[in-house]
Amino acid sequence: MVQDNDIDDSGGPRRIYSAPALEKGFNVIELLAESPHGLTISEIASRLGLSISEIFRVIMVMERRAWLRKGPGDRFRVTHRVLDLAFRATPAEELSVVAAPVMHELSQRIGQSCHLVVRNEDHGLVILRQESPGPTGLSVKVGSSLSLEKSSSGHVLLAFAAKATLVTAETQLRLETVRAQGYEMMDSARTLGVTDISYPVFGFDGHVAAALTVPFLKLIDGTQTVDRDEARDYLARAAARISAGLGGPEAKA
C-alpha cells in the first residue's frame, strides 16, 4: 500500500532512497528526545530493534560530533547542539533575537512569565521563555511540545494559519472566536488556577510566525500589581512590537 508520505507533489509515487546509517542516527535522536534521563547503548539498541553492533558506531560518531553526550551510568542524552542548529537553520533564531528583549520587558512589567511558541508539524514548540521576576511564577520549559487543539498557543497558531487544518467541530468554532477577537484567553489545560493568554506574532510575509503566551497566575497575598485584563493589554502590545520587529504587520492591540 502506498502511504501519503510516499506521494510526491505531482501525485505520483515518491522515489524512496535508503541511507541506513543516517536513518539510524535520526532514530537515535528521536528516541532520546522522548527519554530525558538518557539511555544506555543496550537500551537504545533494544528499543530500536537492533543489535549493539549495529548501533555502536553510529552512537560513537554522534558523540564525537557533540550530538550526544554520555553521562552517569553510561547513559546517552541529546545535547543542546541539536537545538542550536535548529535555531540557526530556521527563522526561530531571528524570531528569538527580536522577541527576547520585548519578552523581558513584558515579564518585568506584569510580574508574570511568558513564552514563545511556533508550530512544528502537528504540535506547538516552545522556543523561548522569560521567567517571572518575582519569587512565584509559572513557566514552560523551552523545547516543550504543546497540543494545537488544547492549548491557548495552539489555538492562536491554528486560527491565524494561512492554511486551514483539520480539527474537530468544537475546536473550529473556538478558532473562529479567536480570529474575531484577535487573541485567545482560556483556562490552562494543564494547571489549575492559571489562565493562558496568547496573541499572534506575524512575520514579514503577513503570516503568523508564533504565539506569544502568558500563563497568568493570580496571587492572593496582595503583592500583585497588574490584573489579568491589564496583563492582556500589555501582552497585545508586546506581540505587536515583535511583529513590527520582524517586518510584519502589527497585531491589533
Give per-residue pLDDT as tens, 143-189.
888 999 999 999 999 999 988 788 899 999 999 999 999 999 999 88
Statement to judge: residues 164 and 184 lie in one domain: yes
Pairing of strands 68-71, 75-78: antiparallel
Indicate which CATH number applies to the domain containing 25.
1.10.10.10
Statement to judge: residues 240 and 189 lie in one domain: yes
* E strands present in 53-173: 68-71, 75-78, 114-120, 123-130, 145-147
Q: In this prediction, what percent of the chain has a pLDDT beyond 70?
A: 89
End-of-domain residue from the set 79, 106, 127: 79
Residues 180 and 90: their CA atoms lie apart, in Å, by 30
**Collapsed DSSP state (helix, strand, coil) of residue 107:** helix
End-of-domain residue from the set 58, 79, 100: 79
Q: Which residues on neighbouring strands pair with residue 195, listed in sequence order?
A: 187, 216
Residue at 105 is within a domain: yes
Residue at 174 is within a domain: yes
Give per-residue pLDDT as tens, 182-216.
999 999 888 878 999 999 999 888 889 999 999 99
Statement to judge: residues 142 and 228 lie in one domain: yes
Whether 188 and 228 have beta carbons less than 8 Å apart is answered as no
The predicted pLDDT at position 93 comes to 76
CB atoms within 10 A of CB 25: 19
End-of-domain residue from the set 62, 79, 96: 79
Burial (Cβ within 10 Å: 0-12, 13-18, ≥19) of residue 2: exposed
CB atoms within 10 A of CB 83: 14
Residue at 252 is within a domain: no
Give 13's DSSP letter. Answer: B
**Collapsed DSSP state (helix, strand, coil) of residue 160:** coil
Residues 6+ apart with CB under 8 A from 31: 39, 44, 47, 48
Statement to judge: residues 9 and 128 lie in one domain: no
Is pTM beyond 0.75 here? no
Statement to judge: residues 35 and 152 lie in one domain: no
Asked if the model's pLDDT at residue 3 lies above 50, the reply is no
Statement to judge: residues 123 and 228 lie in one domain: yes
Residues 6+ apart with CB under 8 A from 244: 250
Residue at 251 is within a domain: no
Residues 30 and 56: their CA atoms lie apart, in Å, by 17
Statement to judge: residues 75 and 96 lie in one domain: no
* Nearest by Cα to 148 from 216, 211, 95: 211
Give per-residue pLDDT as tens, 47-88.
999 999 999 999 999 999 988 999 999 999 988 777 666 655
Asked if the model's pLDDT at residue 1 lies above 60, the reply is no
Residue at 72 is within a domain: yes
Q: In this prediction, what percent of the chain has a pLDDT beyond 90?
A: 58
Each as own residue / partner, the long-range contacts of residues 223-230 (CB below 8 Å, 24 or more positions apart, any chain) are 223/134, 224/111, 225/111, 226/109, 226/110, 226/111, 226/112, 228/195, 228/197, 230/110
Residues 33 and 116: their CA atoms lie apart, in Å, by 20
Residues 6+ apart with CB under 8 A from 2: 13
Domain hosting residue 181, numbered range:
86-245
The predicted pLDDT at position 90 comes to 59
CB atoms within 10 A of CB 149: 19
Statement to judge: residues 187 and 94 lie in one domain: yes
The predicted pLDDT at position 143 comes to 86
Residue at 230 is within a domain: yes
The total domain count for the chain is: 2
Phi, psi of 81 (to 5 degrees): -60, -35
**Residue 60 zone, left/alpha/beta (φ > 0; ψ -120 to 50; rest):** alpha
Give per-residue pLDDT as tens, 84-115.
666 555 567 788 889 999 999 999 999 999 99
The predicted pLDDT at position 252 comes to 46
Give per-residue pLDDT as tens, 13-34.
667 787 888 899 999 998 998 8
Statement to judge: residues 44 and 168 lie in one domain: no
